[in-house]
Structure 1
Amino acid sequence: MDRWGSTGGTRDGRDAARRDRDGEGRARNARPRDGLGRPLPYGADGVQRQPEGVVRTPQETVAEAQALLDAGKPFHAHEVFEDAWKSGPDGERALWRGLAQLAVGLTHAARGNHAGGARLLRRGAEAVREWSAGTGEDRPYGVDLAGLTRWARDLAESVEHAGASVDAKTAAPRLR
């Protein structure tokens, strides 16, 4: 056994099956997860995962992410934003990445990781603010970037300094 607790294993499929990896050793992420994206034991009833790599219109992205935020599933909203970030036009990637950071910041805050949540909320707020300043757009696809920036900074302040408990559903922002 090595220092990380591994017995070595092989890449012939036996180790991959035991560790939920493909034949190349990459994680398959098939483990069930809760609404905040935390892994659950195999066989547990988890929240349905967002399919990865879905190409949506920007309007579909915003609508689906808002529905997930409203349901208290910011981790899953982050995955929707991540798809837009990876598949969208180069000029919009910073926007979608910033929105994904806001969603994952809320995820961390709701999980009780106050410092990490606050850091990601501020990083996401700065990213969407910079994108807006650089493009001159303050409401792309109807998304209220100034309002999101205020929301993120206020929530970051609250969780970082007050150590406030965060309910992802009630703390979720309105994107439009």
Structure 2
Amino acid sequence: MTLLASLAVAAGLTALYITGNGQGFSALLFAGAATAGAVAAAIDLRHQLLPDLGSAVIALTGLGVAALEDHVVGSLSSGAVAAGILMLAGLIVRRPGREKPLGEGDVLLAGACGLWVAPEQIPVALLLAVAFTIVTGFVANKGQGERQSRLAFGPGLVAGFGLAATAIIPWGGAL
């Protein structure tokens, strides 16, 4: 059921991308990235694990669009900045003797998703990711006697970056 809902979200994001700024092959690559993101998010929700293959598909499709639209350098810098911000955040909130708050899968996914947005969209995408994660964590824990100690951040990253990518009209445009 979670996988079907995730795929429905991927279809919706793809529709937004196509109507907003995607044409032809770029839209097809976005559909592949959205589907990989939806599957990765579903796996993260269920198993607290992000598959590297999902991040690889998102990264390769993002680089494909960057090559088609002639903004590879900007795309690579966005991916590096997104991964760097998450890596730094993980180091800042890490407590000695405790499990890492952000895993390598989260950092890889942020870097892969970052390839899809302009550098100035990264703060918005990460803010949306955090907000989505908090809301889904609240909804998931509502009515349960015991609070879940770990939240899956992958679905938030996919949603945040997906929404940011669909809001960009031309490369480097503002929301």
TM-score (norm 1): 0.37
Structure with larger RCO (C-alpha < 8 A, sep 6+): 2
More helix by share: 2
* Higher-Rg member (1/2): 1
TM-score (norm 2): 0.37
